[in-house]
């Protein structure tokens, strides 16, 4: 009986903590990215950027490109939503003030990163991570200053490993945004994960900020 009440008390504490935790909030960033962001990259970014906070703590700060280069038929295949975005395209930059957990559950150190589009390989090593194969790979911005750089999949993965410190790239999962939006907005995706929905030129991207892949 004593163990029952101890367990019940623990559950009540945990429930209270879950209730206290608030939903993420979104606000515009009135300042421009710092000088550490390469000039060519900075010029390509739309302003203002957006800051995402959870319970008053900054989760991440995002600046997306003013426009996203697209090419009809750039990608094709099952579970690919963004078929017009060429592989390795720079989508924007992100600043994590503190360590952040990516879609694979990897701890990504705080810092500045570029975000480049890539399609997850359709092999057995990646099954079950996400319902979709569209991702943004994070690359330390200090090593990625050319907005027009074109990387092969293996080159981009190698660069992104510098962000994760593991054998896997650091990844932001991309989900489709079904709602018509004209400005950034926090929404929940198909499986209830908090997602930053952003219009980038003619494309609407859904960046999953809180949540891990099903296979993680």
Digit-coded pLDDT (tens) for 135-163: 999 999 999 999 999 999 999 999 999 99
Enumerate the domain spans of the chain: 24-210
**Predicted local confidence at residue 78, as pLDDT:** 82
What is the DSSP pairing of strand 100-101 with strand 134-140? unpaired
How crowded is residue 109: how many other Cβ atoms within 10 Å of its Cβ?
Answer: 14
The 3-state secondary structure of 70-101 reads CCCCCCCCCCCCCCCCCCCCEEEEEEECCCEE
Asked if 40 contacts 145 with a C-beta cutoff of 8 angstroms, the reply is yes
pTM: 0.85
- 38-64 core/surface letters (b: 16 or more CB in 10 A; e: else): beebbebbbeebbbbebeeeebbbbbb
**Predicted local confidence at residue 33, as pLDDT:** 87
Low-confidence ranges of the chain (pLDDT < 50): 1-20, 124-127
**Predicted local confidence at residue 216, as pLDDT:** 54
**How many angstroms separate the CA atoms of 111 and 179, rounded?**
31
Which two tokens mark 101?
Answer: 């957990």
What is the DSSP pairing of strand 107-108 with strand 100-101? antiparallel
């Amino acid at each position: 009986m004593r163990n029952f009440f101890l367990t019940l008390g623990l559950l009540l504490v945990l429930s209270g903590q879950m209730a206290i935790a608030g939903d993420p909030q979104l606000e515009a960033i009135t300042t421009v990215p710092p000088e550490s962001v390469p000039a060519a990259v900075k010029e390509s970014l739309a302003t203002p950027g957006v800051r995402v906070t959870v319970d008053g703590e900054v989760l991440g700060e995002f600046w997306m490109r003013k426009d996203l280069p697209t090419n009809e038929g750039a990608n094709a295949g099952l579970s690919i939503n963004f078929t017009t975005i060429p592989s390795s395209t720079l989508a924007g930059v992100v600043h994590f003030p503190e360590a952040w957990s990516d879609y694979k559950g990897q701890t990504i150190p705080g810092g500045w990163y570029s975000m480049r589009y890539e399609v997850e390989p359709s092999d057995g090593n990646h099954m079950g991570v996400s319902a979709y194969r569209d991702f943004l790979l994070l690359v330390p911005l200090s090593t990625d200053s050319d907005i027009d750089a074109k990387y092969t999949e293996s080159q981009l993965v190698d660069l992104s490993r510098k962000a994760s410190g593991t054998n896997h790239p650091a990844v932001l999962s991309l989900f489709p945004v079904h709602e018509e939006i004209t400005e950034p907005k926090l929404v929940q995706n198909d499986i209830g994960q908090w997602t930053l929905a952003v219009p980038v030129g003619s494309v609407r991207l859904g960046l999953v900020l809180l949540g891990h892949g099903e296979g993680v």
